[in-house]
Structure 1
Amino acid sequence: MRFTEFNFHPALLEGIEASNYETATPVQQQVIPPILAGKDIIASAQTGTGKTAAFLLPIIHRLLEEDTNGQVRALVIVPTRELAIQISQHLEGLAYFTSISSLAVYGGSDAQNFVGEKKALQMGADIIVCTPGRFIAHLNMGYVSIKGLEFLVLDEADRMLDMGFQDEINRIITQLPSKRQTLLFSATMPPKIRKLAQQILIDPVEINIAISRPPEKIVQRAFVVYEEQKLPLVKYLLTKTPFKSVLIFCSRKQNVKVLTRMLKQNGFTVEEMHSDLVQSQRENVLISFTSGRIPILVATDILSRGIDIDTIDLVINYDVPRDGEDYVHRIGRTARAEADGMAFTLVGEKEQNSFAAIEELIDKEVEKAVLPQFLGETPAWHPRKKSGNRKPQRKFYNRKPGRY
């Protein structure tokens, strides 16, 4: 289905054409018509399915069809600053030829940015993309008018609840007009999301476009190692694997710092991304990475969702993710659009059970790659079975050099 078939406003169609959009994705085909019809939505859709445009396009169209009221008319709430920035940039591109105004409101900025946000909120931007905590800070000051709000979007709702934003979300919702259209997007649908949906949605249309498995075009490999072998293995993989852009995920920011320092000492051009960086530093690092000036980025899960960069051709999981959904999100950063990609996961002794659980979730046994001989003895792949209580014996063997 082509975007021209949705009968969007002519000014919006100009932005769609300028963004090189032609054919709608499955989630866009299913989500756009009920939003245009004024229906509430609960959609299971992960990053990479085109869900951002799926809710932005019909909202922009409907705002263009109505007269502005000088207040905030649409509110998009997201879990992280990075996602707020990305959606805001996406919005600016699509609405470039329209009169729609927008603003990104997120924490971690300096006082000058807060003042700028305050001024824009007082003037009444049409669409606000925000993180919950920062928007609450503005609401508490008493100058934000949301009585004329028409649309509420909760994006990555499951992650927001996991991050502890339940109270902030409830507080925001209590101040919104009851007559509004609410759109809830979540990668997963645990009971707490169902409960939230029952509280805030009215006769919603339910759509399921979730991607529970990584795309087949991603080449997945796992390396079974001892913890002390991870650093030299990463160096080896970066030396032997052709790439243009690499994203390395660590579960702990201390690992991010240690790995980044080691790679810099070995001559790699690399930067780090974690919560200890101030917002301006994080934005500069992300711009440098997306532009290609920095080919290697080491990050915590702060970048596992909501970052859409088409040029990443290799993802390395330095630590096994906490669950299968995180694994899918992490390796989904590669093989975007029509590109191919590779994903390597380093599985430590104590991480074997976790990785076996991930394989069960994605219904795929990831190939256990052969390590270079110089790394010496490596653990056997021997995760504990769920049905058994016997602790597996520790076995050793030498791997012969080969392809990974």
Structure 2
Amino acid sequence: MDFSALALSPPLLQVLQELEFPTATPIQAQSIPVLLKGKDLVGQAKTGSGKTAAFSLPILQRIQLQHRRLQALVLCPTRELCTQVAGELRRLGRRLPGLQVLVLAGGQPVRPQVNALEKGAHVAVGTPGRILDLLQRESLDTRQLATVVLDEADRMLDMGFREDMERILGATPPTRQTVLFSATFPPDIEKLSRAFQKQPTRVTVVDEEAAPDIQQLCYTCAPEEKTAVLLRILRQYQPTSAIVFCNLKATVVELTRALVEAGVSADGLQGDLEQIDRDRVMAKFRNHSIRVLIATDVAGRGIDVEALDAVINFDLPSQSEPYVHRIGRTGRAGRRGLAISLATPSDEHKVETIEHDTKVQLERASVETLPPAGSARGASLESAWETLLIFAGRKDKMRPGDILGALTGEAGGLSASDVGKIEIHDHLAYVAVARRLVNVALQRLRDGRIKGRKQRIERVR
């Protein structure tokens, strides 16, 4: 269905045209007309189905820009997902003058968020814990809320946020529109819907496309051999971008240290990291300054990276659903994906459960076929890129073009092909630079100016 058939406002249609969104996805075509009428909705769709735009466009259409007060609240399970959703709202709403979208997530100081709320905002995207904290501080005024969205509601329930979600919904006006998006529909979601929604429309989008083409391999080895086997797997398959999943935070820390010591371009993501460190790791992974990201399921939620070559299960999950969720990050956009699992002899029951539930037989592969430990075969697992951190961001009016111009202009002297992804945050910016030129780029940026001003710049390790 074409977006022009969905009764969206001219500014939104203009942005969709500029972003080259030609037609609505099934979840968008079915959800947007319902949401524009102000009705409650339960949407069941997988990640990557376009659900963020499905609820963002109706929110943006109904915002009264002249009233700088909170009119819509989106709850997400993780900080990363909050940032993604807020980014999409800002992108789709860029033709709406004065639109204010706030991220209210834990892991960051609460005071700046309180100050931002005092200045007024139209939309807030937050994690349940921080939203509840702000409600208890009486810093969050919910009286004018017209819409509340629970994004990835099943994940929030899995993470133990049920009580928080119920308390937050209980603190919002009974006249609100309540929108619930979930990849699965367990009984708890049904219960939540019955308690807090008014005759919701149910929209379910079954993947009409063929299942993603993912080669699923399984290597069996002893527990003490897993790290060595993982290194051999990385040397064999040479992924430019891979996520390695572990079940425990401690494993993430140990494995990250072991891979880095072995010369692999890697970093870890686990729940104890401060937000600034999580942002740093994710920026490096997105811009390919690190090739391997090691994460737990909780830390890995909300991570959506384009063109992921491989997903490796260093530890197999106990249930099939996390397995499916993990491997679904590879094999997108028509590319063949690769999912590799390391199984110890005692993991056989896990493998059988996954095969039974997914109705897919994992391809048993032999460790003997991998390059031997210490082999030069497959060469380096370092990255061709490094990241520079600039201490100025969106709130300082910094734009990607300013950074690119400083690096490739007369003072910088780099060619555009030596500059990779540029990522702008509120008060920071990350830029990938060819590793062989990183010292030159760092010195020239420090000696020169960006937007006519000297900026503090650091190399991200």
> Which TM-score bucket, shorter chain as reference?
0.7 to 0.9
CA offsets 1:68-117 (integer angstroms, 9 cap, x no match):
4332100000111111111111221111121322001100113xxx2221
Tell me, in whole angstroms, the C-alpha distance in 1 between the residues paired with 2:100 and 2:206: 31
Quick one: structure 1 residues 221 and 177, their matched pair in 2 at CA, closer, same or farther if it must change by over 3 Å?
Answer: same
Paired positions, count: 371
Q: Which among 57, 69, 72 is matched to residue 70 of structure 2?
A: 72
AA at the equivalent of 2:26: P
Deviation at 1:289? Answer: 0.5
| Contact 2:242–2:309 (Cα < 8 Å) also in 1 | yes
Q: Secondary structure at the match of 1:12?
A: helix
Q: Which among 311, 319, 343 is matched to residue 307 of structure 2?
A: 311
| Matching residue of 1:356 | 352
Q: Which region of structure 1 is more displaced relative to structure 2, 139-148 or 190-199?
A: 139-148
Tell me, in whole angstroms, the C-alpha distance in 2 between the residues paired with 1:256 and 1:160: 23
| Contact 2:86–2:103 (Cα < 8 Å) also in 1 | yes
Is 2:104 aligned against 1:105? Answer: yes
AA at the equivalent of 1:17: Q
| Matching residue of 1:131 | 127
AA at the equivalent of 2:31: V
Q: Which among 230, 252, 256 is matched to residue 252 of structure 2?
A: 256
Deviation at 1:237? Answer: 1.1
Q: Which among 204, 208, 223 is matched to residue 208 of structure 1?
A: 204
Tell me, in whole angstroms, the C-alpha distance in 2 between the residues paired with 1:173 and 1:211: 31
Tell me, in whole angstroms, the C-alpha distance in 2 between the residues paired with 1:338 and 1:117: 40
Is 2:280 aligned against 1:284? Answer: yes
Q: Which among 88, 91, 105 is matched to residue 90 of structure 1?
A: 88
Tell me, in whole angstroms, the C-alpha distance in 2 between the residues paired with 1:212 and 1:166: 31
| Contact 1:310–1:335 (Cα < 8 Å) also in 2 | no
Deviation at 1:290? Answer: 0.4
Q: Which region of structure 1 is more displaced relative to structure 2, 71-80 or 11-20?
A: 11-20
Tell me, in whole angstroms, the C-alpha distance in 2 between the residues paired with 1:323 and 1:292: 31
5 Å-filtered alignment, 1:3-402, equals 3-63=3-63, 66=64, 68-99=66-97, 100-110=99-109, 114-209=110-205, 215-372=211-368
Q: Which region of structure 1 is more displaced relative to structure 2, 173-182 or 54-63?
A: 54-63
AA at the equivalent of 1:40: D
CA offsets 1:272-318 (integer angstroms, 9 cap, x no match):
00012111100110011001111111111135432221121111011
| Contact 1:212–1:328 (Cα < 8 Å) also in 2 | no
Deviation at 1:230? Answer: 1.4
AA at the equivalent of 2:182: S
AA at the equivalent of 1:39: K
Q: Which region of structure 1 is more displaced relative to structure 2, 101-110 or 29-38?
A: 29-38
Quick one: structure 1 residues 326 and 374, their matched pair in 2 at CA, closer, same or farther if it must change by over 3 Å?
Answer: closer
Deviation at 1:329? Answer: 1.1
Quick one: structure 1 residues 284 and 57, their matched pair in 2 at CA, closer, same or farther if it must change by over 3 Å?
Answer: same
CA offsets 1:165-212 (integer angstroms, 9 cap, x no match):
122111111111100111111122111111111001111111222669
Tell me, in whole angstroms, the C-alpha distance in 1 between the residues paired with 2:149 and 2:234: 40
- RMSD of aligned alpha carbons: 2.1
Tell me, in whole angstroms, the C-alpha distance in 2 between the residues paired with 1:17 and 1:212: 25
| Contact 1:214–1:328 (Cα < 8 Å) also in 2 | no
Q: Secondary structure at the match of 2:181?
A: strand
Runs of 5+ consecutive residues of structure 1 not aligned to the other structure: 377-404
Q: Secondary structure at the match of 2:140?
A: coil
| Contact 2:235–2:371 (Cα < 8 Å) also in 1 | no
Percent same amino acid at aligned positions?
A: 37
CA offsets 1:200-226 (integer angstroms, 9 cap, x no match):
111111122266999331221122222
CA offsets 1:129-173 (integer angstroms, 9 cap, x no match):
000111111111213211110000001111111212122111111
Tell me, in whole angstroms, the C-alpha distance in 1 between the residues paired with 2:50 and 2:253: 33
